[in-house]
């Protein structure tokens, strides 16, 4: 798949994320004509405040990405407070903002969706499945319902 000018900006700035976000490296990534897919690998030491809590009542692991939809109000947090730097939401927001800023600077039309979809990859099999999906996404472009 050939990149548009906006796609080139999106690709370059994605690869800059580790230079601006502590504990982050990049997994598979692809720029599509109307969206992107990417894996952010976060290797944050446990003693640095990782928010992983085991919910004994539900017998499931609860991991907060700091995306507003993943926050649990029962944990005493308000849904729309500033969660700080180096959260998934702040990284994605900064990335989208940088792409928009550079596109606007050179007069390229662009428009991100307000939200984004995040998913915590919990094991190697799931990682492989998602990585394969990203790699094969350009091959499946002709069948994309939003094309």
Each residue's pLDDT tens digit, 53-107:
433 333 334 444 544 444 444 444 455 555 566 788 889 999 999 999 999 999 9
Token pair 């903002």 in the structure block, residue: 97
Query: Which residues are registered as beta bridge partners of 61?
Result: 54
Q: Is the confidence at residue 146, as pLDDT, over 70?
A: no
pLDDT confidence band for 6 (50 / 70 / 90): very high
pLDDT confidence band for 46 (50 / 70 / 90): low
Query: Which residues are registered as beta bridge partners of 63?
Result: 52
Range with the lowest mean pLDDT among 8-12, 35-39, 65-69, 93-97?
65-69
Q: Is the confidence at residue 52, as pLDDT, over 50?
A: no
Q: Where are the domains of the chain?
A: 5-141
Q: Is the confidence at residue 20, as pLDDT, over 70?
A: yes
CA distance 13 to 95: 7
Q: What is the mean pLDDT of the chain?
A: 78
Token pair 């984004």 in the structure block, residue: 116
CA distance 3 to 5: 6
In this prediction the pTM is: 0.70
């Amino acid at each position: 798949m050939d990149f548009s000018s906006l796609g080139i900006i999106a690709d370059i700035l994605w690869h800059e994320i580790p230079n601006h976000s502590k504990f982050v490296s990049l997994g598979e990534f692809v720029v599509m004509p109307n969206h992107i897919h990417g894996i952010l690998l976060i290797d944050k030491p446990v003693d640095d405040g990782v928010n992983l809590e085991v919910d004994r009542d539900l017998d499931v692991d609860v991991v907060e990405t700091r995306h507003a939809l993943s926050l649990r109000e029962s944990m005493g947090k308000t849904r729309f407070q500033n969660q700080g730097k180096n959260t998934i939401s702040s990284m994605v927001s900064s990335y989208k903002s940088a792409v928009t800023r550079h596109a606007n600077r050179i007069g390229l039309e662009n428009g991100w969706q307000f939200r984004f979809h995040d998913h915590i990859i919990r094991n190697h099999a799931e990682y492989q499945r998602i990585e394969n999906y990203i790699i094969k996404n350009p091959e499946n472009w002709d069948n994309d319902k939003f094309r």
